[in-house]
Amino acid sequence: ELLDFKKMDLVNADLKGIQLPGADLSGIDLSGADLRNANLRGANLSNAKFDGAKLESSQYEPVFSFREKLGMIFVYIPPGEFMMGSPENEPGRYDNETLHKVNLSKGFYMQTTTVTVAHWKAFVSETGYKSEAETGAGAYAWTGTEWKKDKDKNWKNPGFEQTEQCPVTCVSWNDAQEFVKWLNLKEGSDKYRLPTEAEWEYACRAGTTTPFHFGKCLSTDQANY
């Protein structure tokens, strides 16, 4: 007989080594639970809560798509602490990057990719929104020797070729906030937001301490710049 975990109180539960591959755990509150060495591969963990849970050596793929039409996929980032900033001897660092410990007491979900041109097009198509770059501010573009503000540049015309799967560019923080408002309106919720600076760095570092999560050097194998 299969256990109905949705009817059980699993807050602070001792679930060390539990085997639940492919289980439906959507919406379950596992806050404070001991899930060390657990096998949750393929489990549906959408909207599950893991605040304060112990996840060391556990196996899980906590992904969910909140809009099939857009194909935006979010992954769960468990709570934890890390050293935010950069060491004084790191090349290219800024003065405001002083190393300091940050503790993120609550887990959160983050999209696996940046918002794409296709996602932005869907937003614009439904709302008619005009980005700040389109309404006169323009955007920065590479001239070949320097970055320079160009009033003709915007997400439609960033100054280089792009496909619908490319990250949308030439959008401001204010533009991004409008996109988030639209997502919340579409989903009838208020749970979507931009990550904080600490959440962003914590997720991108993924436990690493090097200048980039993949190592010390950035090349065209990782990005075009």
Distance CA 179, CA 182 (A): 5
For the chain, 225 residues long, give each residue's pLDDT as a single digit of tens.
Answer: 456 777 788 899 999 999 988 888 888 888 889 988 888 887 877 777 877 788 777 776 655 445 546 778 887 787 888 999 988 888 888 889 999 999 998 888 888 889 999 999 999 999 999 999 999 889 999 888 999 999 999 999 999 999 999 999 999 999 999 999 999 998 888 889 999 999 999 998 888 888 777 877 777 777 765
Does domain 1-63 match CATH 3.40.50.10170?
A: no
How is the chain split into domains, by residue range? 1-63, 64-205
CA gap 41, 5 in Å, rounded: 16
Residue 3: the pLDDT is: 61
> What does residue 197 show for φ and ψ, rounded to 5 degrees?
-60, -40
pLDDT at 1: 42
Domain 64-205 has CATH 3.90.1580.10: yes
Torsional class of 212: left (φ above 0), alpha (ψ -120 to 50), beta (otherwise): beta
* 46 vs 40: CA distance, rounded Å: 13
Residues sharing a CB contact under 8 Å with residue 182, sequence separation 6 or more, in sequence order: 123, 126, 127, 129
Q: Is the dihedral of CA 80, 85, 91, 93 positive or negative?
A: positive
Q: Which of 13, 51, 9 is nearest to 35 (CA)?
A: 13
pLDDT at residue 84, as a whole number: 93
Report yes or no: 62 and 48 within 8 Å, Cβ to Cβ. Answer: yes
